[in-house]
Structure 1
Amino acid sequence: MDRAPVSHAPVDREEVLARLRRDPDVEAPDLVAVDATDRLLLDTAAGALAGPGRVVVVDDSHGALTLGALASGATDVRVHQDLLVSEQALARNAERTGLTGRYRSLPLTAELLDGATLVLAQAPKALDALRELTELAAAAAAPDVVVLVGGRVKHMTLGMNDVLRTGFTDVSATLARQKSRVLVARDPRPGVAPSFPRCRRDDALDLDVCAHGAAFAGTRVDDGTRLLATALAGAAPGARAAVDLGCGTGVLAAVLARSRPELAVTATDQSAAAVASARATLDRAGLGRVRVTRDDAAAGLPDASADLVVCNPPFHLGAAVVTAAADRLFAAAARVLRPGGELWAVWNNRLPHRAALRRLVGPTRAAAHDRRFTVSVSTRR
Structure 2
Amino acid sequence: MNRLTTSWGAYDLTRFPEDPRDTLRAWDAADEYLLRQLKGQDASDAAAPTDLSGSVAVVGDRWGALVTSIAQHRPVQITDSFLGRQATLANLARAGVDAGAVRLLSVRDTPPERIDVLLIRVPKSLALLEDQLHRLAPAVHAGTVVLAAGMVSEIHTSTLKLFERIIGPTRTSLAVKKARLIFCTPDPRIARGASPWPLRYALPDDVGGLAGLPVTNHAGIFCAERLDIGTRFFLRHLPRRHGPERVVDLGCGNGVVGLAAALANPEAAVTFVDESYSAVASAEATYRENVAAEDARAEFLVGDGLSTVPDASVDLVLNNPPFHSHRATTDSTARRMFGDARRALRPGGELWVVGNRHLGYHVRLRRLFGNCEVVAGDPKFVVLRAVRD
- Tell me the TM-score normalized by structure 2: 0.88
User: How much does 1:338 deviate?
Assistant: 0.6
Show the counterpart of 1:294.
302
1:212 aligns with 2:205: no
1:80 aligns with 2:78: yes
What letter corresponds to residue 271 of structure 2 in structure 1? T
User: How much does 1:365 deviate?
Assistant: 0.7
8 A Cα contact 1:109 1:136, kept in partner: no
Deviates more, 1:145-154 or 1:283-292: 283-292
Distance 2:337 2:109 in 1: 33
Please list, as runs of the form range in 1=range in 2, the aligned pairs for 1:306-317 lying within 5 A after superposition. Answer: 306-317=314-325
Percent identity of equivalent pairs = 33
User: How much does 1:109 deviate?
Assistant: 4.9
User: How much does 1:50 deviate?
Assistant: 4.0
Show the counterpart of 1:3.
none
For residues 160-216 of structure 1, the C-alpha deviation after alignment (integer angstroms, 9 at most, x for no partner) is 112222202311111111110112222242454344222111232322121111111
Distance 1:159 1:186 in 2: 17
1:112 aligns with 2:114: no
User: How much does 1:340 deviate?
Assistant: 0.7
Structure 1 stretches lacking a partner, 5+ long: 1-11
Question: How much is the aligned-residue C-alpha RMSD, in angstroms?
Answer: 2.1
What letter corresponds to residue 65 of structure 2 in structure 1? A
Distance 1:230 1:16 in 2: 53
For residues 19-59 of structure 1, the C-alpha deviation after alignment (integer angstroms, 9 at most, x for no partner) is 22224255666510221111111222336654412111112
Q: For the structure 1 residues 34 and 13, does the alpha-carbon distance in structure 2 shift closer, same or farther, using more than 3 Å as the test?
A: same
Distance 2:319 2:274 in 1: 11
1:256 aligns with 2:249: no
8 A Cα contact 2:123 2:154, kept in partner: no
8 A Cα contact 1:314 1:326, kept in partner: yes
- The partner residue of 1:22 within 2, 15, 29 is 15
Please list, as runs of the form range in 1=range in 2, the aligned pairs for 1:36-47 lying within 5 A after superposition. Answer: 36-46=29-39
8 A Cα contact 1:41 1:182, kept in partner: yes
For residues 273-330 of structure 1, the C-alpha deviation after alignment (integer angstroms, 9 at most, x for no partner) is 1111111211222366221111111111111111110000010112221111100000
Runs (4+) of structure 1 exceeding 6 A deviation are none
- The partner residue of 1:246 within 233, 251, 257 is 251
8 A Cα contact 1:26 1:324, kept in partner: no
Show the counterpart of 1:62.
63
For residues 127-176 of structure 1, the C-alpha deviation after alignment (integer angstroms, 9 at most, x for no partner) is 10111011112233233323322111123211111222220231111111
Show the counterpart of 1:4.
none
- The partner residue of 2:227 within 221, 225, 236 is 221
Q: For the structure 1 residues 230 and 267, does the alpha-carbon distance in structure 2 shift closer, same or farther, using more than 3 Å as the test?
A: same
SS at match of 2:335: helix
1:304 aligns with 2:312: yes
Distance 1:69 1:363 in 2: 49
- Tell me the TM-score normalized by structure 1: 0.90
SS at match of 1:309: strand
8 A Cα contact 1:139 1:190, kept in partner: no
What letter corresponds to residue 335 of structure 1 in structure 2? R
Q: For the structure 1 residues 193 and 50, does the alpha-carbon distance in structure 2 shift closer, same or farther, using more than 3 Å as the test?
A: same
Please list, as runs of the form range in 1=range in 2, the aligned pairs for 1:1-381 lying within 5 A after superposition. Answer: 14=7, 16-25=9-18, 31-46=24-39, 49-71=50-72, 74-75=73-74, 77-100=75-98, 101-109=100-108, 111-188=110-187, 189-190=190-191, 192-204=193-205, 205-234=211-240, 236-237=241-242, 240-286=245-291, 289=296, 290-381=298-389
What letter corresponds to residue 62 of structure 1 in structure 2? W
Deviates more, 1:159-168 or 1:280-289: 280-289
User: How much does 1:352 deviate?
Assistant: 2.1
Q: For the structure 1 residues 309 and 239, does the alpha-carbon distance in structure 2 shift closer, same or farther, using more than 3 Å as the test?
A: farther
8 A Cα contact 2:8 2:69, kept in partner: no
Distance 1:173 1:59 in 2: 19
8 A Cα contact 2:11 2:95, kept in partner: no
8 A Cα contact 1:310 1:345, kept in partner: yes
Q: For the structure 1 residues 287 and 364, does the alpha-carbon distance in structure 2 shift closer, same or farther, using more than 3 Å as the test?
A: farther
Distance 1:84 1:23 in 2: 9
SS at match of 2:183: strand
What letter corresponds to residue 193 of structure 1 in structure 2? A
Distance 2:119 2:243 in 1: 50
What letter corresponds to residue 219 of structure 2 in structure 1? G
SS at match of 1:143: strand
8 A Cα contact 2:152 2:178, kept in partner: yes
What letter corresponds to residue 365 of structure 2 in structure 1? L
8 A Cα contact 2:243 2:267, kept in partner: no
User: How much does 1:13 deviate?
Assistant: 5.3
SS at match of 1:231: coil
Distance 2:109 2:308 in 1: 29
